[in-house]
C-alpha cells in the first residue's frame, strides 16, 4: 500500500514540478560550480580517500572530466568522486557524454560506462582497495554505434532492491530508455525518496523504478565488514560519480532537495517537498 501511495505522489510531483510558478519555482542547487572540484572528494581503488591519482577527476573548459591520460594500464583502478553532503529525499540530475577511447586494460563491459551512485556508504568507511562503494548505481551507458544499449539502468554493488513485491538480487537490470550513440549529451535524473522509492528518468521520461533499497548481495570487494550489515534499509547516504575506464564528461550536476518546510503558511514552503523538515520553517 505504501508503494502505491508513493507512485501516486510521484505522478503528482512530476506534474506539479512542471507547473511551478513564482515563489514555488524549482530551486535546483548546482553541485558542480564549473570551475573546480570544491565540495567533491575522490576515492580510487588502491589509494587513500582524497588522493586524485593521475588527475583522474578534473575540470577543463567548465566541464567535470573523468580522464585516464596519466594511467597507462587501467589495472582495475575503479574510482568515484563523492559530494560532501549526505542526502535522503531529492532528485539528482546530470548531463553527461562519453568521449575518446577507453583506457588500456579496461574491462569490456566498462566501454562507455559510468554511473551516478546514490545512497552510498560514507566514503570514510571504504577499504583502501575497495572497488565500488556499497550503494545503488544509476548506470550510465553509451551506445557502441549499432545495436541496443539503454542508459539509466540499475546496478547494485553490495545492495538489493524490491520490485513487484519481491527482492531483486541480480546485479544489473536494463531500463526502457533508448540507446544514445556517439558523443551526444544526455540528461539523466534519479528521484530518491529515502527507502521508499527510486525512479530513473532519461530526458524527463521515467524508464525504471523500484523500492526498499537495502544492503545485501555481492558485486563489491575488499569492503570493511562493519560497513555491510545485510538487510539494512537505505534511507540516506552520499552521492558519487563513477570512473570505470572510459572518459566521460559532466557539464551539469544539479540537485533538487525534496526535504524541507511543508507548512503552507511558512515563507520557505515548497509545494514539491515530499519529506517534512518543519523545524526549519520560517514564518
Alpha carbons 185 and 224: distance in angstroms, whole number: 37
Taking residues 185-199, report their average pLDDT.
98
Looking at the chain, the whole-number percentage of residues with pLDDT higher than 70 is 92
Alpha carbons 24 and 270: distance in angstroms, whole number: 6
Looking up cell 572518459, which residue turns up?
Answer: 247
Cα angle 267, 270, 275 (rounded to 5 degrees) comes to: 120
pLDDT tens digits, one per residue of 86-116 = 999 999 999 999 999 999 999 999 999 999 9
Alpha carbons 119 and 112: distance in angstroms, whole number: 23
pLDDT tens digits, one per residue of 253-281 = 999 999 999 999 999 999 999 999 999 99
What is the full DSSP assignment across 200-257?
A: EEETTEEEEEEEEEEE---S--S--GGG--TT-B---BEEEEEESSS-EEEEEEEEEE
Q: Which three cell numbers stand for residue 33?
A: 560550480
Alpha carbons 278 and 281: distance in angstroms, whole number: 5
Task: Write down the pLDDT at residue 204.
Answer: 96
- Could you give all domains of the chain from N- to C-terminal order, each with its CATH number? 2-280 (2.60.120.560)
Confidence at 8, pLDDT banded by 50, 70, 90: low
Q: Which three cell numbers stand for residue 100?
A: 575518446
pLDDT tens digits, one per residue of 10-69 = 555 554 444 434 357 789 999 999 999 999 999 999 999 999 999 999 999 999 999 999
Amino acid at each position: 500500500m505504501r508503494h502505491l501511495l508513493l507512485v501516486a505522489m510521484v505522478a503528482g510531483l512530476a506534474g506539479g514540478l512542471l507547473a511551478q510558478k513564482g515563489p514555488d519555482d524549482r530551486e535546483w542547487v548546482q553541485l558542480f560550480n564549473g570551475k573546480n572540484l570544491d565540495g567533491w572528494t575522490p576515492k580510487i581503488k588502491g589509494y587513500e580517500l582524497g588522493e586524485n591519482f593521475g588527475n583522474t577527476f578534473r575540470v577543463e573548459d567548465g566541464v567535470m572530466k573523468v580522464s585516464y591520460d596519466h594511467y597507462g594500464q587501467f589495472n582495475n583502478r575503479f574510482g568515484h568522486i563523492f559530494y560532501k553532503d549526505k542526502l535522503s529525499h531529492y532528485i539528482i540530475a546530470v548531463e553527461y557524454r562519453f568521449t575518446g577511447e577507453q583506457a588500456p586494460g579496461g574491462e569490456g563491459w566498462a566501454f562507455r560506462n559510468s554511473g551516478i551512485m546514490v545512497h552510498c556508504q560514507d566514503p570514510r568507511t571504504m577499504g583502501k582497495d575497495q572497488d565500488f562503494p556499497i550503494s545503488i548505481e544509476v548506470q550510465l551507458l553509451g551506445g557502441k554505434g549499432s545495436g541496443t544499449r539503454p542508459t539509466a539502468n540499475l546496478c547494485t554493488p553490495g545492495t538489493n532492491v524490491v520490485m513487484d513485491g519481491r527482492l531483486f538480487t541480480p546485479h544489473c537490470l536494463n531500463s526502457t530508455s533508448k540507446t544514445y550513440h556517439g558523443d551526444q549529451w544526455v540528461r539523466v535524473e534519479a528521484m530518491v525518496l529515502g527507502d521508499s522509492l527510486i525512479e530513473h528518468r532519461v530526458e524527463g521520461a521515467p524508464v525504471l523504478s523500484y523500492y526498499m533499497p537495502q544492503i545485501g548481495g555481492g558485486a563489491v570487494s575488499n569492503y570493511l565488514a562493519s560497513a555491510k550489515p545485510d538487510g539494512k534499509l537505505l534511507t540516506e547516504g552520499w552521492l558519487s560519480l563513477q570512473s570505470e575506464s572510459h572518459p566521460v564528461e559532466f557539464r551539469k550536476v544539479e540537485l533538487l532537495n525534496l526535504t524541507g518546510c511543508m507548512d503552507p503558511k511558512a515563507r520557505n514552503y515548497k509545494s514539491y517537498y515530499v519529506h517534512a523538515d518543519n523545524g526549519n520553517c520560517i514564518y
